[in-house]
Amino acid sequence: MKDNTKNKFPLSGLLALAMAGFLAIMTETIPAGLLPHISEGLNVSESLAGQLVTLYAIGSLVAAIPVIALTRQWRRRPLLLSAIIGFLIFNSITAISPYYFLTLVARFFAGVSAGVAWGLIAGYARRMVSDEFKGRGMAIAMIGTPIALAFGVPIGTFLGSIIGWRLVFVIMSILAIILIGWILIKVPDFPGQDSKNQVSILKVFITPGVRPILAVVLCWMTAHNILYTYIYPFLISKGVGRVDFSLFIFGILALISIVIIGLLIDSHLRVLVLISILAFAIDSILFGISGGYPIALNLEVALWGLTFGGAATLLQTALAESIEDEAVDVVMSINTTVWNLAIACGSVVGGIILKKADASLFPWSIFVLLIIALLISWKSKKYGFVQK
């Protein structure tokens, strides 16, 4: 029987994948906006409450590669559903748990669920669309991330202050139930890999082009997270009084970036990567030399959002195109690990800079990392960021 799943553009199915990404980002970041409430509810300090974010990241970091490797023979939709069911179970436990340690365990396994989801989304999106729309399909599937960062976390934080942090996690469990039904109705199933055709993780890692792209992921995302993790002290030190408004601007421009990338990525991936990194590098200089002018700083935040919004789509598309289709899920699991490592590096490096010096050094640290990323991208013309 002929496969008709690609005959028309599967927008609804791709949006279901986008919601999976939205749910993963929301589950990861929402505790950061609810720390005082969580701290009070679990009778721990805000510092200990902050470890709810840390345990989630550790779960994603340590589980992505081994879990995807062990489940490569599974059919894709049941595996995706298992990740969403994981969000449902562990967000529900977080919502009702009276014990700090139990909550940490739930957060760790929620992170494991995220590691599985991120290892699947990009490859799933590419299998759902025809060859000429693979980049556009991934752009739509990744749109949940900037939406969560722009609107989800602020709204969740606001709701938490009104209805309580536990009910926010209940709402996310309800969203998981809705998503399970959506996936069952609109997302097609695909077979896993036959054991004879499985590509080893090492072979994927040493494939020409993969390591340069991962190096760019590490440098670019570390630079981003140095600034994003500590955006409050940085902007306040520059004289910006409404950081929430600045983050809203960042999110809006990130969404615009996703649209632009979605339209152009299938024919201009390399150029878009180079422009995005170069523009962020220039923006880091502007951040460094600008004084206490909120309008100028918000314009710089807007440019930052514009360079970042399509980053995940660009980097994951480059990775997917650098290897065989059978190895997409494996390389995406490696990417998930490196991405989470970059988040951790950004947090640690930014924290050291903030403690030993001050936030004014952030732009120059970012600039160095971005120049390294730009040079690697520029040199990776034959393998990696290929000129079409």
Whole-number pLDDT of residue 175: 96
Higher-scoring residue by pLDDT: 16, 381: 16
Average pLDDT over residues 222-251: 82
State pLDDT tens for residues 299-320.
999 999 999 988 988 998 899 8
Q: What local confidence, expressed as pLDDT, does residue 46 receive?
A: 75
Residue 259 and residue 140 in contact, taking contact as beta carbons nearer than 8 Å: no
* The token pair that represents 128 in the structure block: 């759902």
Q: Which domains does the chain have, with CATH numbers?
A: 11-197 (1.20.1250.20), 201-379 (1.20.1250.20)
Is the model's pLDDT at 202 over the cut of 90? Answer: no
* Res. 1: pLDDT tops 60: no
Q: What are phi and psi of 99, to 5 degrees?
A: -115, 135
Mean pLDDT score, 202-221: 92
For the chain, percent of residues with pLDDT exceeding 70: 96
Q: Of 47-51, 182-186, 202-206, 228-232, where does the model show the most confidence?
A: 182-186
What confidence tens digit (pLDDT) does each residue in 323-351 have?
887 788 788 888 888 988 888 888 788 88
Residue 3: pLDDT band (50, 70, 90) is very low
Q: What is the mean pLDDT of the chain?
A: 87
Give the per-residue pLDDT at 329. 79
Whether 111 contacts 57, CB under 8 Å: yes
Of 375 and 387, more confident: 375
Higher-pLDDT residue of 149 and 167 is: 167
For the chain, the distance separating the N- and C-terminal CA atoms, rounded to the nearest angstrom, is 34
Please state, in angstroms and as integers, the Cα–Cα distance from residue 324 to each residue in 33, 72, 131, 141, 170, following that order.
40, 15, 14, 20, 40
Asked if pLDDT for residue 148 goes beyond 50, the answer is: yes
Name the range with the highest mean pLDDT among 131-145, 282-296, 366-380.
366-380
Tokens standing for 288?
Answer: 């460094």
Task: Band the pLDDT of 2: cuts 50, 70, 90.
Answer: very low
Give the dihedral sign, CA 51/55/60/65.
positive
pTM of the model: 0.81
pLDDT band at 105 (very low <50, low <70, confident <90, very high): very high
| Tokens, residue 209 | 């082009």
Report DSSP letters for 267-334, one per residue: HHHHHHHHHHHHHHHHHHHHHHH--S-HHHHHHHHHHHHHHHTTHHHHHHHHHHHHS-GGGHHHHHHH
Angle at CA 160, nearest 5°, toward 157 and 166? 125
Model confidence at 285: pLDDT above 80: yes
- More confident position, 146 or 85: 85
- Give pLDDT, residue 113: 95
